[in-house]
Every structure is written in C-alpha cells, then in structure tokens.
Structure 1
Amino acid sequence: MIAAYLNILVVFAIILVGYVLTQVKWFDNKTADLFSKLVLNVTLPLSMFLNMTEKFNRHDFLELFSGILLPFVSIIVTFFISLAYSRITKVERTRRGSFQTMFTAANTIFMGLPVNMAIFGEKAIPFALLYYICNTTFFFTIGIMMISSDNPENHLNPASFSFKKLAKQLLSPAIMGFIVGIMWMLTDIPVPKPINDFASYIGGMTTALSLFVIGIIIYQTGFKKLQMDKDVAGVLIGRYIISPLVVFGLSFIIPVPSLMLKVFILQSAMPVQNAMPILARGYGADSKFATSALTYSILGYFIFIFIILSIFF
C-alpha cells in the first residue's frame, strides 16, 4: 500500500511540474493542445501496440475481452443514478445534461492511464483500455446529447447521435493501436527489434505528456474562477463514491479477475473529462459550471485516491 501511495505522489509531482512550467510561461493552451494530440494520436497508440504484443497471448486476450460487460453495465447504471440524483437535488435545467455527463463519464486517458500504470504497471493498460472503450462510447453518444440539451434556446445546432461520429471516436488511433497489437499478438510472430524499440521510446512519453496536460488545465482555469456549490459537490459524489461503488457491487454479479476489477474501480473513480468545458461552451451549456467541476474533481482526486486505495485495495 505504501508503494502505491508513493507512486501516486510521483504522478501528482509530474502534474505539479506541468503547473509550474505553465506558470513560468513555458507551457500554454497551445502546448496542452499539442500534448493532447501527441498522446491520443502518436504515443498512446504505440504504447497500446507494444503492451498487447509484449504482455499477452491468445488465452490472456480472450480473458481480457470477456470483461468488457462489467464497465459497460456499470456506466449505464451510474447514468441512471445521475438522472435520479439530478432531479432529487433539483439541478438547474441549463446544466442538468452536463451534470449527468460529468457524474457518469471519467477521465480515463489523461488521468486514468498514468494512475493505473503507477499502481499496477503496464499490465494494467489493456484493462484500462476496455473501460476507456465503454466510457468513450457513452461520452460521445449520450453524453454529447445531454450536454447539448442544456441549451434551451438552441443558439447552436443541437448534437445528435451519429454512427459516423461514434465510429470515428471508437476507431481512434489509440484503439487502432490496440487492434493492430491484438492482430499481431494472435499471429505469434515476434515484433522486430527496431519496431519494438521505436514503439518503446515514443510510447514511453505517454504518461508524462498526459500529466502535463492536467497541470496546464489546472493553472489555466485559475482558482479565482472556481465556484463550489451543491451541483459541483454532486459531480464529485458521482465520480468518487457512486461510480466505484457501482462497479464494485456489479462485480458480484459479473465476476472478473482481481486485477481487472481493481483497474475498473480506479478507472471509474477518475476526475471529470478534460473536454467538458470546451464542449459545454461549444453547445451553449454552462461552461463555468463545467470548468469548476473539472478543476475541483482534479484537486479532490488528491484526497479521494488515497481513500479509494484504502477501501478497495
């Protein structure tokens, strides 16, 4: 347990470096955009490929993919809880969709991936990606529609479900790296050393770049702009209490291997999605609420992660 705490502190230390470097003007919003693109389109796909080819065989893969039902069901259950919670606590109509989306969807890449790697090592990445697939499916279908519904005057075109948009998100470079890694692994052909080294060097940047993005976001948001109210508190309850408890409870009905369950619990208890403030602003929703919820969820994670580790691990 102490080792896990120390690894988490390393994660927070890298976030602090990103914060400080933004404060001294080395990093800015353009840097965050650049790092995000690098992670999602270059370093993470190579990391996915490398981990599938190095860490798994056919048997391991079949066991891996059989566990996708648990995160899928848990996200749906958590979403229905968010619907009830938002009505019971009378969340304002102009932020209700954003509230329900943030209550349900987690930051499974920029925060979830580094934290899981810090605690469990690279063997946790494929499990983390399974949760990411389910989380991304929800966020870019139901989540986008809910955020759009917060704009009653419809100043912008409301979001609508699109199989094309969903396919684009699910067939992102990260997922494609995962798929190519699976296909190569199933052939039992060793990865040539130059390719392996190339993927290792570039894929190894994923964690640091992801955490720098979090540090930049915290600084750019600014503490003076934050507003804590019952709705922001409700988002934190959903992220750090309801969501992991749902995963844990469903594990008695949908059993999965121990490590997979632990990764799912950690992934479910991550901060709000990074893109929430941008999407809220774009769809005419309450962007200040989304920004406050995102930042408080990141800051609150410094405390909740240790509570979660103490309870479930």
Structure 2
Amino acid sequence: MLQAYFNILVIFLLMFVGYWLSYKQWFSNRTADMFSKLVLNLSLPFSMFLNITSNFTRDEFMTLFSGITIPLLSMLLTLFISFGYRRIFHISENRKGTFSTMVTCSNTIFIGLPINLAIFGELSIPFVLLYYIVNTTIFWTIGIYLIASDSPKMEEVQVSFYPLVALKKIFSPALLGFIIGLIWMMLSLRVPTLITGFGTYLADLTTPLSMFAIGIMVYFNGIKNLKMNKDIAGVLIGRFVFSPLIVWLLGQWIKVPELMLQVFIIQSAMPVQNSVPILARTYEADEEFAASSMGYSVLIYMLYIPILLKLIF
C-alpha cells in the first residue's frame, strides 16, 4: 500500500512539472494539444498492443468482457442520478447537460491510465481499456449531445452534430491498437523484436506526456480563476461519491475478478473528462463552469485518491 502511495506521488509530481514549466513559459496552451495527440495517436496505441500481446493468453482474455456490464450499468445509473440531482438542487438551465456529462464521464486515459499503472501495474491495462471503451462511447454520443443542449442555439448545434464524428472518437487509435493486439494474440503470432523495442520506447511516453498535458491545462485554466459554487460542488459529489459507490454496489451483485472491480472503482472516481471545457466552448455552453469543475476535480483528486485507496484495499 505504501508503495502505491509513493507511485501516485510520482504521477502528481509529473503533473506539477507540467504546471511549473507552463509557468516558466516553456509550455504553451498548444503544447498540451500536441502532447495529447502524441499520447492518443502514438504512445497509447503501442502501449495497448504490447500489453495485450505480452500479458494475456486467449483464454484469459475471453473472461474479461464479462465485466463490461459493470461500467455500462454504472454510468447509465450515474447519468439518471445526475438528472434527479440537478432537478432537486436547481442546477442552472445553461449548465444542466454539461453537469450531467461531467458527473457521468471521467478522465479514464490522461489520469486514469497513469494512476492505475502506478497502483496495480500493467495487468490493470485491459480493465482500464474496458472502462475506457464504455466511457468514451457514452461521452461522444450522449455526453456531447447533453453539452450541446446547453447552448442557446441548440437548433443550430444539432445541425452540426454528426454520428460519424462520434464513431471516429470511439474507434480511436488507442482502441485500434487494442483490437490489433487482440487479433495478434488470438492468432498466437510472435511480435517481432523490432516492433517490441520501438513500441516500448513510445509506450513509455504515455504517463509523462499525459501528466504534463494535465499540468498545462490546470495552469492555463488558472487556479486563481476557479470559483466554487453549488453546481461545481454537485459535480465533485457525483464524481467522487456517487460514481464509485454505484460501481462498488454493482460489484457486489455482478461477480468479477477483484482486480477488475478495483480498477473500475478507481476509473469511476477520476476527475472530469478533460475534453468537456473544449466542447463547452465549441457549443457555446458554460465554458467557465466546465473549466472550473475540471480544475477543482484535478486538485481535489490529489487529496481524495489516498482516501479511496484506503477504502477499497
């Protein structure tokens, strides 16, 4: 347990490096976009491919997908709870869709993957990806629609919403790397040494670049600009209380391996999805609310994760 805490501390130190270098003007806001693209399109696909082909057999992997029910049900239940919460606590009209999206969908890759690697090691990666598949599917379909619904120009926004865009986001390079690795493993093919060596170097970039990107985002959103209100408090309660609690309860009913359930709980309690402020700006929703919610969720998460680990171990 103590080693897991030290590993998590290292992860957050990387985030602080990203924040500090942004303060020193080494990194710009566009640097975060560049790091994000490198992770999503290059380092993460190799990480997924190498992990699947080196750590799992065909029989072991076939048992994994039985657990996909938990993230799917938990996220749908969390979404419905967010609808009730925003009615009871009178969430502002121009924030309702963004609120529900932030409560339901978490940052499963840029923070979720490094944290799970720090706690559980590489065996957690397939479980991380299972949650990621559901999280990404819901975010780029239901989530993006809900954010767009906050726009005062909802009818115009609907015209610009294309299902193919959502499909492209769901079938990202990371997921394609996973699928190729899965096919490779099912066919019992040997991975060439050149691909293993080259891919390992790229895969090792995933954690530092992800945390640098988060540090840059936190800096440019501006800690001084964060403004707490009841709506943001509701997002934090949803992210850090309702979401992991629902996963845990489902895990008592749907039996899955202990490691899988622990990873799902960690994934469900991640900070706000980092794409939400960008989409809020794109669809003319409440960008300040989205950015403040993401900022607070990242900062509070540093204090929250040790408590969560104490509860699940």
Q: TM-score, normalised by structure 1?
A: 0.97
Alignment of 1:59-208 (within 5 A): 59-154=59-154, 156-158=156-158, 162-208=162-208
Contact kept in structure 2, 1:112 and 1:266, CA below 8 Å: yes
Tell me the amino acid that sits aligned with residue 199 of structure 1: G
Match of 1:302 in 2: 302
Q: Using the alignment, how far apart are the partners of 2:285 and 2:162 within structure 1?
A: 20
- 2:254 maps to 1:254: yes
Match of 1:244 in 2: 244
Contact kept in structure 1, 2:117 and 2:125, CA below 8 Å: yes
Identity %: 54
**Higher mean displacement: 166-175 or 260-269:** 166-175
Query: How far apart are residue 163 of structure 1 and its match?
Result: 3.9
Q: Using the alignment, how far apart are the partners of 2:162 and 2:139 within structure 1?
A: 13
Q: Using the alignment, how far apart are the partners of 1:213 and 1:296 within structure 2?
A: 16
Contact kept in structure 2, 1:8 and 1:119, CA below 8 Å: yes
* Per-residue CA distance 1:238-266 (angstroms, 9 max, x = gap): 11110000000011221110000010000
Alignment of 1:227-242 (within 5 A): 227-242=227-242
Query: How far apart are residue 34 of structure 1 and its match?
Result: 0.5
Contact kept in structure 1, 2:58 and 2:186, CA below 8 Å: yes
Aligned length: 313
Q: Using the alignment, how far apart are the partners of 2:58 and 2:159 within structure 1?
A: 40
- Unaligned ranges ≥5, structure 2: none
Contact kept in structure 2, 1:111 and 1:270, CA below 8 Å: yes
Tell me the amino acid that sits aligned with residue 290 of structure 1: A
Indicate the RMSD between aligned Cα atoms, in angstroms.
1.2
Contact kept in structure 2, 1:110 and 1:214, CA below 8 Å: yes
- 2:44 maps to 1:35: no
- Unaligned ranges ≥5, structure 1: none
Q: Using the alignment, how far apart are the partners of 1:308 and 1:160 within structure 2?
A: 40
**Structure 1 residue runs of 4+, over 6 Å off?**
none
Contact kept in structure 2, 1:95 and 1:286, CA below 8 Å: yes
